[in-house]
Structure 1
Amino acid sequence: MKTDKTSRTAQYMALFRALETERDANDKLFSDHYAIHFLEAKLRFAARMSKYSIIRKYICNTIQKKIPGALSSGIARTKYIDDLLQSTVANGVTQVIILGAGFDTRALRLDFLESIPVIEIDHPNTSNFKTETYKSRIGNLSKNIEFYQIDFNKQSLEELAAQHNFDFTKPTTVIWEGVTNYLTEDAIKNTFSFIAKFTTNSYVIFTYVHKKILENPCSFLGGEKLLENLDKLEEKWTFGFRPEELSNYLKQFGILLLEDMGATEYRAKYLPNRAENGYEFYRAAMAIKQ
């Protein structure tokens, strides 16, 4: 991705959350009234018009044809991560860090985070766009949210932590959503090493893609076309895990895998009445620092 623009895929995820917000109260997993503010004009218009069932059906069918399974996977995964995060807070977490925060709005929309410090870390371009959008659309933000900027070409997470005096003694949950598939293996290792600095009973909630999608895209519905489109957007996927190897991989950092679900599983859990195929390669996991 070019460094002078925000992620197109982040826009799509915000669109998915905005579409979910327009559903009837008894038919939606969550509401995110902030997501729509991050959308370009035509996507914002589409989200607002989706309150009409015939238009919603057209939008959802169009998304399913272009990116099979992405919409339902994205919505179910959002709710799954929300619930995982809430469980960690119930277990004593007193600080949340969101790596590569993008257009994540959990710090604002989840009531159980109101009194918990939330640190969002992202590239300066995305972070500036987000904070300016918040200021212009929402006004003053809660004092529990901090926005820190990092250019990984110039600075490490350790340097950022030293600059801002991170407290590694606080039980912390790190959310790392929609990022690992864009990184190198060294960057993955460095990030898990950083996460491992936090105290015992800290958590990491992260997403990843099945390594098989990178090796043989045709093995998944819509996989080949998806990777081609990502290349055109200059948002190429570069890294994946094999689910059966993830637990052992994390052990080298003193981190224990607790949960690991693919799209088929979290869709079945949260959207049993919205049958949709595709995106089975996109997974979400939670682990704990021992």
Structure 2
Amino acid sequence: MASGETRTAVGAAVMRAIEGRARQPLFDDPLAERLLTGWTAVMVRNRALRSAFLRLLNRVGPGFYGAVVCRTRVIDDACRDALAAGLRQVVILGAGMDTRPYRMPAMSQARVWELDLPAVQAEKKAALARVLPEAATHVRYAPIDLTVQTVGDVLAQAGADLSVPTLLLCEAVTMYVPDSAVDRLFSFTGTLARGSRVVLTYLPAAVRDDPHHAGWAQRLSWRSAFDPPEVARRLAEQGLRVRADLGAEEYQVRLLRPLGRTLDVFAGERVVIAG
């Protein structure tokens, strides 16, 4: 039986695949749909089933789909910007079914390290083996359990060169691990080489503490949350300047309205870009 983490990773891939079928998609991720098998693959390819799934998802978690696909676009843009600036090493923490190393041409020129739990990585490797004609030689995998290991130690043991500027991606991770793990993650960002960039998502403390979101908190097992000024302060303590901190309101203005799209977006996750 798949672990909860594996189901979460596949669930994000399902939403990216559905977005690929939108009339005006926020991003291009053709690989997401190809990674799916079984009922999820059937559902994504069938318009009626897709619509029924999205209606159900929006009843259970209003705005969750919008939050996932909007954050995907924001992080895609941040990746392109960092790679265009010359960064040639990428670390993806909690990589799940992230397809960026395989679908973004600029990332194929970088050395990529994917870090996640062993079970999730096994599922990912099996899925990629089904759909890619050959292994991606620029990607390396290193298993990690953030509750007991530090990112720096794992990368050092795996052979990563942290003396070079690095793009660190941490998508949908911090809210699901204890504060001690997030503390170690922030400390690690301070060891990155000058010129590095950090892109991470976090749960606003105001959302976590709002009783209207108690159902979300229980359903998603939230553990850590921060106010935006606290995130900026903690990154500044590590020598990193916040370039952008985006959430539901910014997604509506910058991403959805220009496309004429009406999409609910849950405010329970923000993306911060620093460097």
Structure 2 length-normalised TM: 0.91
How far the C-alpha of 1:4 sits from its partner, in A, is: 4.7
Structure 1 residue 229: deviation in Å?
2.3
Cα 1:81/1:64, change in 2 over 3 Å: same
Distance 1:121 1:48 in 2: 30
* Paired residue type of 1:241: F
Question: SS of 1:114's equivalent?
Answer: helix
8 Å CA contact retained: 1:262, 1:284:
yes
Alignment pair present for 1:247 and 2:232: yes
1:151 Cα deviation (Å)? 3.0
Matched with 2:273 is 286
Q: Does 1:198 align with 2:192?
A: yes
> Which residue identity does 1:244 align to in structure 2?
P
CA distance in 2, matches of 1:6, 1:28: 26
Show the counterpart of 1:102.
96
- In 2: Cα distance, 1:36 partner to 1:255 partner: 36
Separation in structure 1 between the aligned mates of residue 6 and residue 249 of structure 2, nearest angstrom: 25
* CA distance 1:277–1:20, shift in 2 (3 Å): closer
Query: Among residues 156, 163, 171, which one is paired with 2:165 in the alignment?
Result: 171
Offset, 1:10: 2.1
Instruction: Answer whether contact 2:164 2:193 (CA < 8 A) is retained.
Output: yes
Mapped to 2, the partners of 1:99 and 1:15 lie a distance apart of: 20
Q: Is the 8 A contact 1:10 1:102 kept in 2?
A: yes
Equivalent residue number for residue 29 of structure 1: 26
**Aligned match of 1:11:** 10
The structure-2 alpha-carbon separation of the partners of 1:154 and 1:206, relative to structure 1 and needing over 3 Å to count, comes to closer
Matches within 5 A, 1:1-290: 4-24=3-23, 27-39=24-36, 41-50=38-47, 54-152=48-146, 155-218=149-212, 223-230=213-220, 236-272=221-257, 273-288=260-275
Which shifted more, 98-107 or 179-188? 179-188
Gaps of 5+ in 2: none
CA RMSD of superposed structures (Å): 2.1
Q: Is the CA contact 1:214–1:238 (under 8 Å) kept in the aligned structure 2?
A: no
- Deviation digits for residues 217-255 of structure 1 (CA, Å, limit 9, x no counterpart): 41xxxx33322323xxxxx11011111332112222122
After superposition, the Cα gap between the structure-2 partners of 1:3 and 1:182, relative to the gap in structure 1 and judged at 3 Å, is farther
Cα distance in 1 between the residues matched to 2:170 and 2:5 = 17
Mean CA deviation greater in 188-197 or 91-100: 188-197
Equivalent AA in structure 2 for residue 11 of structure 1? V
Matched-pair contact (CA < 8 Å) for 1:5–1:125 = no
> Is the Cα contact below 8 Å between 2:117 and 2:144 reproduced in 1?
yes
**Does the aligned pair in 1 maintain the 2:35–2:128 contact within 8 Å?**
no
Whole-Å Cα distance in 1 between the matches of residues 13 and 55 of structure 2?
A: 18
- Amino acid in the other structure paired with 1:59: F
Residue in 2 that maps onto 1:233: none
CA drift of 1:38 comes to 4.4
The 3 A distance-change label for structure 1 pair 91 and 245 is same
Distance 2:190 2:71 in 1: 24
AA of the residue aligned to 1:73: A
Contact 1:72 1:267 survives alignment (8 Å): no
Q: Which amino acid in structure 2 is aligned with residue 78 of structure 1?
A: T
Query: Structure 1 length as normaliser, TM-score?
Result: 0.87
Whole-Å Cα distance in 1 between the matches of residues 187 and 263 of structure 2? Answer: 37
Identical pairs, percent: 28
Question: Aligned pair in 2 of structure 1 residues 153, 243: CA closer, same or farther (>3 Å)?
Answer: closer
Relative to structure 1, the CA distance from residue 242 to residue 271 in structure 2 (aligned partners, 3 Å threshold; closer, same or farther) is: same
Shift of 1:64: 1.6
